[in-house]
Amino acid sequence: MELFDVYPLFDITPVKGEGTHVFDKDGKKYLDLYGGHAVISIGHSHPAYVNAISNQVRQLGFYSNSIKNPLQVELAEKLGKLSGCEEYQLFLCNSGAEANENALKLASFATGKERIIYFENAFHGRTSGVVAVTDNESIKAPFNKGHKITKIAFNDAETLASELQKGDVAAVIFEVIQGVGGLDEATTEFYQQIEKLAKENGAMIIADEVQAGYGRTGDFFAFQKHNIHPDIISIAKGMGNGFPIGGVLIDKNIAPKYGMLGTTFGGNHLACAAGLAVLNILEKEELLQNASAMFDYVKEQAKEIPQIKNIKGRGLMIGLEFDFEVANLRKDMLYVHQIFTGSAANKNLLRILPPLNIEKKHFDTFFKALKISLANQK
Give contact residues for ligand PLP (rule: CB under 6 A): 95-97, 100, 123-125, 175, 179-180, 208, 210-211, 236
Nearer to ligand PLP, 98 or 332 (CB): 98
To ligand PLP, the closest distance from the beta carbon of 9 in angstroms equals 17
Nearest residue to ligand PLP, scored by beta-carbon proximity = 96
Least Å from the CB of residue 216 to ligand PLP:
11
Nearest CB to ligand PLP, comparing residues 131 and 370: 131
The nearest distance, CB 141 to ligand PLP, in angstroms, is: 16
Nearest distance from C-beta of residue 301 to ligand PLP, angstroms: 26
Q: CB of 194 within 8 A of CB of 267?
A: no
Where are any strands of DSSP class E within the chain?
A: 14-18, 21-24, 29-32, 89-93, 115-119, 149-152, 169-174, 204-208, 232-235, 246-250, 310-314, 317-321, 339-340, 349-352
104/370 with CB nearer ligand PLP: 104
Rounded Cα distance between 140 and 29, Å, is 38
**For ligand PLP, the closer CB: 128 or 365:** 128
* Residue 238 DSSP symbol: G
Nearer to ligand PLP by Cβ, of 207 and 281: the residue is 207
Residues 6+ positions from 256 with CB-CB distance below 8 Å: 89, 250
Contact 23, 16 (CB under 8 A): yes
**Residue 333: in which H helix or E strand, if any?**
helix 327-335
Distance of closest approach, residue 130 Cβ to ligand PLP, in angstroms: 7
Q: What are phi and psi of 229, to 5 degrees?
A: -125, 90
Give 186 or 308: the residue with its C-beta nearer to ligand PLP: 186
- Sheet containing 21-24: give its strands across: 14-18, 21-24, 29-32, 339-340
Q: How near is the Cβ of 234 to ligand PLP at its closest, in Å?
A: 7
Report CA Rg, the chain: 21
Q: Of the candidates 12, 37, 43, which has an alpha carbon nearest to the alpha carbon of residue 341?
A: 37
Comparing CB distances to ligand PLP, the nearer of 139 and 372 is 139
User: C-beta of 236: minimal distance to ligand PLP in Å?
Assistant: 5
